[in-house]
């Protein structure tokens, strides 16, 4: 299970890289580099990781959260993946939705409604 989740997260990062290249000529280049933090992959420093994730563009955080949601819908996440997803959710909540869970929930429900089926 762990390999699948990390593969999806790497695919999300690759997608962000592709988007950055596609928008490089129009001044909208984005950086979706994974944050470097202290701690192990299983137990990273939570506050430091959330802070580092908040430095990523909103679109990258939304891709991360969507990938986490899709994976969790299909299978149980291992502890390390669940922790990283939780920190990604928290970073998006703080950065984009100013801490409003209801606003983030409305966005997530809209994303699920427009996503193609399995």
Q: What digits encode the pLDDT tens for the residues 27-76?
A: 444 556 655 544 445 556 888 889 889 999 999 999 989 989 889 989 99
Residues 62 and 14: their CA atoms lie apart, in Å, by 14
Instruction: Classify each residue of 17-34 as buried b or exposed e, where b means 16 or more C-beta atoms within 10 Å of its C-beta.
Output: eebbeeeeeeeeebebee
Residues 89 and 100: their CA atoms lie apart, in Å, by 12
pLDDT at 32 (0 to 100): 67
Give the residue, 17 or 92, on which the prediction is more confident. 92
pLDDT at 90 (0 to 100): 95
Hey, which residues does 44 pair with through a beta bridge?
A: 39
Return the SS3 of 39: strand
């Amino acid at each position: 299970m762990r390999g699948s989740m990390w593969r999806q997260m790497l695919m999300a990062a690759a997608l962000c890289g592709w988007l950055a290249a596609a928008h490089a000529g129009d001044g909208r280049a984005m950086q979706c580099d994974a944050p470097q933090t202290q701690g192990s992959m299983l137990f990273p420093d939570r506050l430091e990781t959330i802070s580092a994730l908040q430095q990523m563009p909103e679109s990258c955080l939304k891709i991360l959260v969507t990938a986490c949601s899709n994976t969790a819908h299909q299978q149980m996440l291992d502890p390390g993946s669940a922790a990283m997803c939780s920190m990604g959710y928290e970073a998006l909540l703080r950065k984009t939705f100013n801490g409003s869970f209801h606003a983030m929930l409305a966005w997530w429900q809209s994303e699920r409604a427009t996503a193609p089926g399995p």
